[in-house]
Structure 1
């Protein structure tokens, strides 16, 4: 199911859990922010400024008399990262500035999550916000305070719309031990994609209740070149405690063939005053990917055990869903996370580099979910959201091209299509088209 909040449907847009896990591991284990303090080049000397120009066309055609959602927008996303001052304790600053522009949108087709909507029901012509965080480093440990875009499996922003989400709080991360990356966070507010204030709410997305603070801690350990392990725990005060484990194992079969297995498990129980009601849910997924030459075939199974859906964080005054659902069947539209839901996915990827067209890739996948039953919940935030025997299916297709050289190097164009059918609890029937163009460039 996709999260529904204030009418519109939202998606975490997770392609695969493997991508999430490896990207997060790479962020923790590489980059100038993780070099030892003894290697600091200095506040100015180690700084960088980059801009991402993102153009986004979004069109959802919804059945059963619901209004369609459609807009075309442009964003400029600037990110500045200073170096650290030299000495035992290095200090620095991370900052961002976002500017979004309406190219085409109307009052009868709002709700995409790409543009703010005024009191008159019309999308705003433009919007902007800026923020940042101060940081301090000792050895290979960094403490930050301010506005950040978290990426933990139990507390992550969504990257599925025009602008990033942010959260305000403290974050500490460390790579003091070889092959081990640890982090912890304490956050008290969030900003969604279409609001500009820094003191918005933090939510339980499906329950539609807020929490005053989120705390989490976790670690990622690269046991061998083939095996990586991840474990996290989080607390949404007065809503839930949530725990997560992941194992990723890659088996090279030959120069052109490999098998990759990925296992993810969440366990969620209610906490404190239990503002969302009783929660006793286990959600897990396993996927196997077989790569042969330019082709990758993936099979995934996911199940939610419990009378409540698998729920996760939402950001900002509108409570738009975040990205902390690292399960294989959370895809372009649906999360396939209803109570008791079992879902399968079959996916095929083609990389055209092997056929002489580097930078061009294709993907198609089909998912089916069934056995959704929410009727055993009669009170609390999840009551009356699901029927008995609800089901859904979704087919997605994607084509993406990244320019490999020349003046437009790294320019990417991506076409994403989704066809979803299911009962009302899963979001019903709708077709979706997204065209996303991105051009990153470094100013220094």
Structure 2
């Protein structure tokens, strides 16, 4: 990894799958008002974590409404626009003694230990477009392997700063930015401890079978990170194919930050997955390995000693409740997915996966173990009044050996999410 990633930086302009081209050309520009959209998402979310050992059970339940306004661009060689985001949530359960789960993060807690009853957040960004290049400043929600704002909880994580996205060449998406604040999912405070984060990279769709991406980031006084991803699809027959997927990170922690965390400074983590698609069925096997003097560090908030680079910034195959990213950890996954729409149940899918891991290094052992059984069923209404209403039920069983308890805590987790998007105009 040390040799591969620096070399691939030289090929940044030939950079996992390319992101959709969402930057319209000037020829298709209908103006600031005509191309504007206002969307409302209702999200009801519940997470229950029944930990094993001495850790108390944590659960939180809330109802959210997320309003997203996206403007078009003014006409002319240089177009201008403005986007706005409003988020509101009310707590339905998870008060005294139940809320506050670090990995749940629905509602932050007051000084008396009581979770907030409700939460509101607003943001906006100004944007400018020339051809297929957009420069924006304000509230941002990047979706990148090295900086992925977490949208998997009740409210969304956001950042503040400048971001550039260019899609001038077909299939190539170049992204760069500099952020100076991070807004925690469960809090309405402007910054949760980020000083500065700079990032850049590109994704490229070589053809209809092969895509790749390369990115790098630097979180001031915390770490620097590089990412390389490749995906290749080999058709075999109608509705049959093989998919090969590689993801890898190289991370280097700042000396002061590593000392504050009492850990080493370097990590390489990579995964390789092979999936066989046969009609409604997908079978997957994946191997993942973490090496170096520390585990893979990501997410968290600076005020709590976290990295601050987004709660979803871990694009590896074996990532469910556990991310299997401990120091020295190696894991293997067997998974199965079914698209039941192909047997007369449109919108219904089922996923199950089992991941087992060993070689976790802690102060107590050089061979800690963990394993997880993941189950998820999801239904998305395909038509009618409730079209696009999505219901997701997820159940995970995670077990961690006692000598690896300083790295991770096992238990049983239940997630119930109901989302209903509405397009107002």
Fold match (TM-score > 0.5): yes
Q: Following superposition of structure 1 onto structure 2, how do residues 105-124 of structure 1 map, counting pairs within 5 Å?
A: 105-110=94-99, 111=101, 112-124=104-116
Distance 2:82 2:45 in 1: 29
Shift of 1:427: 2.2
1:249 is aligned to: 232
Shift of 1:241: 1.9
Q: Of 233, 238, 241, which aligns to 2:216? A: 233
2:293 is aligned to: 307
1:162 is aligned to: 154
The answer to whether structure 1 residue 442 and structure 2 residue 420 are counterparts is no
1:402 is aligned to: 380
Distance 1:317 1:307 in 2: 24
Distance 2:406 2:276 in 1: 33
SS at match of 2:45: strand
2:249 is aligned to: 266
Distance 2:55 2:86 in 1: 35
SS at match of 1:186: strand
Distance 2:250 2:302 in 1: 25
Q: CA RMSD in A?
A: 1.6
User: CA 1:269 to 1:166, structure 2 compared with 1: closer, same or farther past 3 Å?
Assistant: same
CA contact (8 A) 1:307 1:374 kept: no
Shift of 1:178: 1.5
Shift of 1:315: 4.1
| Equivalent pairs, count | 397
| Residue-by-residue CA offset, 1:147-199 (whole Å, 9 max, x unaligned) | 11111111111222111100111100100112111000101110111110222
2:268 is aligned to: 282
Consecutive unaligned residues of structure 1, counting only runs of 5 or more, are 1-20, 203-211, 376-385
SS at match of 2:208: coil
SS at match of 2:342: helix
Q: Of 387, 392, 415, which aligns to 2:393? A: 415
Shift of 1:313: 3.3
Report the more deviating stretch, 76-85 or 105-114: 105-114
CA contact (8 A) 1:56 1:162 kept: yes
- For normalisation by structure 2, the TM-score amounts to 0.90
| Structure of greater relative contact order (alpha carbons < 8 Å, 6+ residues apart) | 1
Q: Following superposition of structure 1 onto structure 2, how do residues 20-35 of structure 1 map, counting pairs within 5 Å?
A: 21-22=16-17, 25-26=18-19, 29-31=20-22, 34-35=23-24
CA contact (8 A) 1:77 1:96 kept: yes
Q: Following superposition of structure 1 onto structure 2, how do residues 116-195 of structure 1 map, counting pairs within 5 Å?
A: 116-195=108-187
1:353 is aligned to: 341
1:12 is aligned to: none
Q: Following superposition of structure 1 onto structure 2, how do residues 317-332 of structure 1 map, counting pairs within 5 Å?
A: 317=303, 319=306, 322-331=311-320
1:392 is aligned to: 370
CA contact (8 A) 1:240 1:274 kept: no
Shift of 1:316: 6.6
The answer to whether structure 1 residue 94 and structure 2 residue 83 are counterparts is yes
2:405 is aligned to: 424
Shift of 1:301: 0.5
CA contact (8 A) 2:21 2:167 kept: no
| Residue-by-residue CA offset, 1:183-218 (whole Å, 9 max, x unaligned) | 00101110111110222223xxxxxxxxx2111110
Shift of 1:314: 2.9
